[in-house]
Structure 1
Amino acid sequence: MQMNGMNIKPVTVILLVLLLVGFYYYYYYYYYLSQYRFNVPPCPTSCSTSEPKDRVPDVIPTDYVFHLKTPDHLQYSQPSIVKGRTDVVAVTPWLAPIVWEGTFNPVLLDSIYKQKKINIAVTVFAVGKYIMFLKNFLETAEKHFFVSFNVHIYVFTDRPKEVPKVNMAPGRQLTVRSVPSSNRWQEISARRMELIQKLIEEQLRKHSDYIFCLDVDSQFHSRWGTESLGGLVAVIHPGYYLDDRGKFPYERRPESRAYVAHGEGDFYYCGGAFGGLLQEVFLLANTCRSNFEEDAKNGIEAAWQEESHLNRYMWINKPSKVLSPEYLWQDFKPRNPEVKTIRFSGVIKNYAAIRPNV
């Protein structure tokens, strides 16, 4: 090959092309994408075929989650590996922490995450007559939920004019998003995953680090804070944590995408409280929505709608942190001895009066 009177060997041309390709690869992947981390593993072979292949950029740099730095000279009680809670299990078989009162130091944790200036989003659905619970939810959240941290609560409701005005501390705000009403509470429940997925895509990716999805017909009684942060966070249901898994109300029909067979499953998780990093909750919401829609095409509705699909998802995609029943108790239940404090709890209510089709 000749160029401007010079003989250039083909091997030289190939090397030049490879060099240019290598430079482009370095620039694109290490300069541009270094701002984001695509650290979502492929779906396991045991997953439903409808589980998504979508990948959402992590808005949190790699060291943001794993580098835990305390302020200089912070004073706190000496930790121990031989003293502590002996009446409960504080770690899962896959080595995820199970958070109970007495298993963490709030002063230490808050000091670590304060420096990170984290932003926490919350979704709460107040559709139909459930709007009556919103004021109490918001007021108790101001007292106990991530106090002194940046919190943005997104209220989904078909009654935006009835959203109460609640005084919120600096760094905390509320946004109302209108949604259509429904004649079936099951449909309201099922649509939550779709709306959470869209909120992350359209609004949160550039503004929030973590998201928690909570039931409005609940109230905070004591601290819910940085001890709950994790990649994928689940809450153990207070009604089944003492039971054998054969008694869990999983979806047992093999035809459903929420199917969990007898002898399978870990814990029974609440649909009324879950969360974690944005990309983890996005994948959960996207998968549950996809599986719910596939069930609907086949004329199937899982036993407990989104909660059934959530339990299927979290059996396969293990939570990186599990919150004890302290984090969603039930006000009508007496507190068991191992539950040293109640942090968040479903209020006593008459379902016949608030659910449209009960």
Structure 2
Amino acid sequence: MNKDQGKRGWVKDCFTRRIFRVMICIVVLCFSIGYFWSTSNHTWQHTPVKTFSTMSPNTQDPDDFHNINLPTNRTYLLENLLEIELPRMIYAKPQVLKPPRNDVLMMTPWFAPIVWEGTYNLEILNEQFKQRNVTVGLIIFAIKKYVVFLKNLLETAETYFMVGYKVNYYIFTDRPQEVPKVELKEGRNVVVLQIQNYSRWQEIVLRRMEMIHNFSQKQFINEVDYLVSVDIDMRFNDQVGVEILSDLFGTLHPGFYGSERQSFTYERRPASQAYVPHDEGDFYYAAAFFGGTVKEVYKLTKKCHEAIMVDKDNGIEAIWQEESHLNKYFIYHKPTKILSPEYVWDDNMGKPQILRKRRFLAVPKNHAAIRNK
């Protein structure tokens, strides 16, 4: 090999190596540009998005509860919608010009139905809710000697409350050893949640919002679809089913359902977080029976608890404790369904004709013998 041939070979090798290096650089550059473009302009393709299931919270990650208002993968939600298809059913045709009842208000100005006997078809509702496979949590506070009412409440609930559905009875109590053994139907469970006692019964009442809020966040969201909070010194007297279920519902107080707003016992002191002016308010609601989806009950109890704590720091206690804060909340966060006084009644008030059923009744008791003991 002469010098010219060797030189040409060396040049050829250098040129080949340079071409190879240039090609590698081009490939790397193209890959970098593509990656930068995709991550900057189409982040949703690469970043996992937590989604809040509209079907049931039973299989949901607890951390998702804090992200329920974040954007979701809407395509995923659409593709996983639950189809509700009613079977062939025989029932009377609804009459547009003949309302089922004309003696009571059946709809609020914000189009929330008011539930009275004779205004709905439970057979249709059952078909809808059973296909959704809902589970309902019934919240009961059995503090101090009030635990004596628990057996009667649970036994009547097994007869009348959400018959045919899965139910968790959440018993908040400072006396877990006194929770009675009650025979339960399949799919229904008693869940005992031991909590702290307080010296004043008013303090116990005020703390209920805090406890519901805390357990909604860490437990209820993973176990049930709806929550119903009731007073313990009551008993079920007739059917209470899925007709009550909605995103957020309250119950008309039996003492004020026919009253004008000026006579409602709202908190009237401006210094309180529960303050309601005399020219505001729709109805007066009973704290003895309210509920909704876990998400909405969480928001309600969180807001009320925070307001209660502000009042406490300012040395104020609302006139009717948590019921005052509940009523304030419902003025500015309208319930999506309202239950008639059928769902909270006291027979000492008589039996008016509009009350075709008395579904949830106060139990006669001596308050002085039970409170603070």
Does TM, scored on the shorter chain, surpass 0.5? yes
Match of 2:230 in 1: 214
| C-alpha contact (below 8 Å) 2:39/2:46 kept by paired residues | no
Match of 1:45 in 2: none
Match of 2:165 among 149, 164, 170: 149
Equivalent-residue separation in structure 2 for 1:334 and 1:246 (angstroms): 24
Deviations 1:18-73 (A, max 9, x none): 42244432454xx6434436xxxxxxxxxxxxxxxx95638xx978xx97834321
User: Does 2:26 match 1:6?
Assistant: yes
User: Does 2:43 match 1:24?
Assistant: yes
User: Does 2:99 match 1:80?
Assistant: no
Residue 5 of structure 1 deviates from its aligned partner by 3.8
User: Does 2:207 match 1:191?
Assistant: yes
Deviations 1:72-103 (A, max 9, x none): 21222222222210000100011100000001
Cα 1:34–1:255 shift into 2, 3 Å: same
| C-alpha contact (below 8 Å) 2:50/2:67 kept by paired residues | no
Equivalent-residue separation in structure 2 for 1:315 and 1:62 (angstroms): 32
Equivalent-residue separation in structure 2 for 1:101 and 1:303 (angstroms): 32
Cα 1:307–1:56 shift into 2, 3 Å: farther
Cα 1:98–1:125 shift into 2, 3 Å: same
Match of 1:232 among 230, 233, 248: 248
| C-alpha contact (below 8 Å) 1:332/1:347 kept by paired residues | no
Counterpart code for 1:79: P
User: Does 2:68 match 1:57?
Assistant: yes
Bigger Rg, structure 1 or 2: 2
Match of 2:13 in 1: none
Counterpart code for 1:125: F
Cα 1:244–1:62 shift into 2, 3 Å: farther
User: Does 2:344 match 1:328?
Assistant: yes
| C-alpha contact (below 8 Å) 1:70/1:108 kept by paired residues | no
Higher helix content, 1 or 2: 2
Residues 268-307 of structure 1 mapped to structure 2, 5 A cutoff: 268-307=284-323
Equivalent-residue separation in structure 1 for 2:311 and 2:138 (angstroms): 28
Deviations 1:145-188 (A, max 9, x none): 00010000011111111111110100101011112222211001
Count how many residue pairs are aligned between Structure 1 and Structure 2.
333
Equivalent-residue separation in structure 1 for 2:350 and 2:170 (angstroms): 31
Cα 1:337–1:27 shift into 2, 3 Å: farther
SS where residue 127 of structure 2 aligns? helix
| C-alpha contact (below 8 Å) 1:76/1:108 kept by paired residues | no
Match of 1:71 among 64, 86, 101: 86
Equivalent-residue separation in structure 2 for 1:163 and 1:82 (angstroms): 51
SS where residue 170 of structure 1 aligns? coil
| C-alpha contact (below 8 Å) 1:76/1:107 kept by paired residues | no
Match of 2:50 among 33, 36, 51: 33
Match of 1:259 in 2: 275
Cα 1:16–1:90 shift into 2, 3 Å: same
Cα 1:156–1:8 shift into 2, 3 Å: closer
User: Does 2:323 match 1:312?
Assistant: no
Residue 15 of structure 1 deviates from its aligned partner by 7.2
SS where residue 155 of structure 1 aligns? strand
| C-alpha contact (below 8 Å) 1:182/1:188 kept by paired residues | yes
Equivalent-residue separation in structure 2 for 1:328 and 1:348 (angstroms): 14
| C-alpha contact (below 8 Å) 1:122/1:153 kept by paired residues | yes
Equivalent-residue separation in structure 2 for 1:203 and 1:122 (angstroms): 14
Question: What percent identity do the matched residue pairs reach?
Answer: 41
Counterpart code for 2:328: R
Unaligned runs of 5+ in 2: 1-21, 55-64, 70-75
- Give the RMSD, CA atoms, in angstroms: 2.4
Equivalent-residue separation in structure 1 for 2:77 and 2:278 (angstroms): 38
Cα 1:22–1:117 shift into 2, 3 Å: farther
SS where residue 6 of structure 1 aligns? helix
Equivalent-residue separation in structure 1 for 2:161 and 2:117 (angstroms): 15
| C-alpha contact (below 8 Å) 1:331/1:348 kept by paired residues | no
| C-alpha contact (below 8 Å) 1:332/1:348 kept by paired residues | no
Cα 1:287–1:4 shift into 2, 3 Å: same
Residue 306 of structure 1 deviates from its aligned partner by 0.5
Match of 2:216 in 1: 200
Match of 2:140 in 1: 124
| C-alpha contact (below 8 Å) 2:52/2:68 kept by paired residues | no
SS where residue 332 of structure 1 aligns? helix
| C-alpha contact (below 8 Å) 2:51/2:68 kept by paired residues | no
